[in-house]
């Protein structure tokens, strides 16, 4: 397992941590300010959200690279199924294609896929997961042509209804096996998997070739809001180092991306302070 106690070159910022994925939250730093703030502190990478990039993907990607940062990925695809997805298969795939094109323009290797919840008119996960399999398979073909890899991110089961009918690493690996595309893998987020006692086995099933991302935060024991009250690493009950050990035992050696949605705490702080705390916690508790 890598030793981060004196080295945070594997640390990446997901800009949601600064409040950038929701209107009206955070200090509103521009992508350029974020790049400069991360580069000045020795971060290894940054992950943007589509809403921040607009039509500037190429310029932002080049700016990050010039500052010595990897653009590790892009958040995220549209929901593919469920009540929050675009209406119908063609609309979904059009938006998937746009998100793949943006990823390629940024020169980021990975687009994160959050699959969406239970398809209206159906019950349970199975029907929705079949629709997901069809749409992800189509997305893999566009992505292949664009040189982009797709990371299926299973979400915590609390989001099963509307945001993700994919709630376990097991089901994510199953989808990878069914679709069998060379550019399809998974992203493992502490917030979504910390409760899973079978995680290490499922990561072994995935193997290094299919783990495309690892996301850090913590689960607060008294969480107030399952969407917008994620904890800073070390403040909650997730065994972060144990999870990282399992991810690395499965062969993952990439960046570790901090992704904290925290409307009443971290999003209210000055971004420079947040970036400093991340470095400290990354070295001390991750």
3 state SS of 283: helix
Please say which residue, 14 or 94, places its beta carbon nearer to Zn ion.
Answer: 14
Sign of CA dihedral 215, 4, 285, 282: negative
Residues 112/213, Cβ–Cβ less than 8 Å: yes
Q: How far apart are CA 46 and CA 280, in angstroms?
A: 17
Q: Is 248 in the site for Zn ion (CB under 5 A)?
A: no
Residues 193/231, Cβ–Cβ less than 8 Å: no
Least gap, CB of 16 to Zn ion (angstroms): 9
Sign of CA dihedral 35, 38, 42, 43: negative
Least gap, CB of 75 to Zn ion (angstroms): 8
Q: Is 259 in the site for Zn ion (CB under 5 A)?
A: yes
Please say which residue, 129 or 155, places its beta carbon nearer to Zn ion.
Answer: 155
Which residue in 215, 244, 263, 281 binds Zn ion (CB under 5 A)?
A: 215
Least gap, CB of 14 to Zn ion (angstroms): 7
Least gap, CB of 215 to Zn ion (angstroms): 4
Q: What is the dihedral of CA 64, 244, 147, 114, to 10 degrees?
A: -100
Q: Which one of 114-122, 173-181, 183-191, 224-232 is the stretch in contact with Zn ion (CB under 5 A)? A: 183-191
Which residue in 52, 119, 171, 189 binds Zn ion (CB under 5 A)?
A: 189
Judged by the rule CB under 5 A, the positions of this chain that interact with Zn ion are: 189, 215, 259
């Amino acid at each position: 397992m890598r030793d981060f106690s004196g080295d945070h070159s594997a640390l990446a910022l997901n800009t949601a941590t600064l409040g950038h994925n929701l209107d009206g939250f955070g200090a509103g730093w521009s992508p350029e300010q974020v790049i400069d703030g991360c580069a000045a502190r020795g971060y290894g990478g940054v992950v943007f959200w589509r809403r921040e990039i607009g039509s500037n993907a190429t310029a932002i990607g080049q700016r990050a690279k010039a500052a010595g940062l990897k653009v590790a990925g892009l958040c995220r695809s549209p929901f593919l199924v469920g009540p929050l997805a675009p209406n119908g298969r063609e609309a979904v795939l059009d938006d998937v294609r746009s998100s793949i094109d943006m990823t390629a323009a940024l020169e980021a290797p990975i687009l994160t896929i959050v699959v969406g919840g239970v398809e209206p008119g159906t019950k349970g996960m199975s029907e929705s997961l079949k629709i997901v399999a069809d749409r992800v398979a189509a997305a893999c073909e566009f992505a292949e042509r664009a040189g982009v890899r797709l990371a299926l991110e299973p979400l915590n089961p609390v989001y099963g209804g509307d945001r993700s009918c994919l709630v376990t690493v097991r089901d994510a690996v199953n989808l990878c096996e069914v679709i069998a595309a060379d550019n399809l893998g998974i992203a493992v987020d502490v917030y979504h998997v910390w409760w899973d006692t079978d995680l290490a086995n499922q990561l072994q099933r995935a193997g290094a070739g299919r783990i495309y991302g690892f996301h850090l935060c913590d689960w607060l024991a008294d969480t107030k809001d399952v969407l917008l009250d994620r904890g800073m690493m070390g403040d909650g009950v997730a065994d972060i180092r144990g999870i990282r050990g399992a991810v690395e035992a499965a062969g993952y050696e990439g960046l570790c991306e901090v992704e904290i949605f925290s409307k009443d705490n971290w999003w209210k702080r000055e971004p420079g302070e947040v970036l400093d705390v991340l470095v400290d916690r990354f070295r001390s508790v991750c």
